[in-house]
Amino acid sequence: METKFTNVLITGASSGIGEAMAVYYAAHGAKNLFICGRNKDRLENVRKQCEQLGAAVYASLIDVNDREKMRVWIVQCNKKAPLNLVLANAGVATTKEIDENIYNTFNTNIFGVLNTVLPAVSLFSRRRGQAPKAVAMLSSIAGYHGLAGCPSYSASKACVKAYGEALRVYLAPRGIQVSVICPGFVKSRITDKNTCPMPFFMEAEEAAEIIGRGLENNVGLIAFPWPMRFGVWLLSVLPSRLSAFICSKLPYKV
């Protein structure tokens, strides 16, 4: 299946889902890939993989927390090739719930997303024509309900989920597709550090296939695997005392 997104920008593309999505789009006919990350060697490896699949790849070392650098980078990428899909993928785990880690989690997982999405929306809002204009942002199954094992992480992902769901409706009149991605446990540098059980664990390549199909079909909420999606949804609608009791029995994420 050839993708309808010919010019794709992905943050956090040096590993995990970001890397898998870059390879997915290169393999499915994307002409231009704009990728960023913070690790030069890993990002270079992804660039080589994607170029071997036929895509033109532009890789940049950028921290998504730098608002102005992100704005300039996205504008420059769009000048090289009008972007069709901007995927705000970069994110971090909190590990220990200490002040420095908590601030870093919220800064990266929320403001890093905003630093990616807002410049893209600005560009797309001014563009006319029928070419696809899509924004996708990575939340998590953990964003369905606050989890005691990872309070900062689940809260940051809940913010992204709520923002993306609302933004989808808000931007629909402008012809801008917005999708929120809520994966469960997917192979990444984050899950490599986990010591807790990881039910329905999947490889990043499998996750990329699910995400890719969802984005092609303009699915607003791409949440998987379905048993975990159902479980956390149920947790979110139970009476608070019951959900709090269940959460207290769950293992810590890391």
**pLDDT exceeds cutoff 70 at 195:** no
The percent of residues in the chain predicted with pLDDT above 90, rounded, is: 75
pLDDT for the residue numbered 150: 86
Confidence of residue 219 (pLDDT cuts 50, 70, 90): very high
The rounded distance, in Å, linking the Cα atoms of 29 and 14 is 20
Residues involved in catalysis: 153
Residue with tokens 């899909």: 85
pLDDT for the residue numbered 254: 45
**pLDDT exceeds cutoff 90 at 194:** no
The rounded distance, in Å, linking the Cα atoms of 208 and 213 is 8
The predicted-structure confidence for 88-107, as pLDDT tens digits, reads as follows 999 998 888 999 999 999 99
Report which of 43, 9, 49, 12 is spatially closest to residue 27, judged by C-alpha positions.
49
pLDDT for the residue numbered 226: 84
Mean pLDDT over 144-170 rounds to 94
Task: Supply the CATH classification number for the domain 7-249.
Answer: 3.40.50.720
56-61: strand order across its sheet: 56-61, 32-37, 7-10, 85-88, 134-138, 177-183, 221-224
* Signed CA dihedral, 57, 171, 105, 21: sign only: negative
pLDDT for the residue numbered 145: 86
**pLDDT exceeds cutoff 70 at 193:** no
Q: What is the average pLDDT value for the chain, to the nearest integer?
A: 92
Give yes or no for a contact between 65 and 94, defined as CB atoms under 8 angstroms apart: no
Domain ranges in the chain? 7-249
The predicted-structure confidence for 14-53, as pLDDT tens digits, reads as follows 999 999 999 999 999 999 999 999 999 999 999 999 999 9
The rounded distance, in Å, linking the Cα atoms of 83 and 34 is 9
For residue 156, the cross-strand partners are none
pLDDT for the residue numbered 190: 66
**pLDDT exceeds cutoff 50 at 174:** yes
The predicted-structure confidence for 65-92, as pLDDT tens digits, reads as follows 999 999 999 999 999 999 999 999 999 9
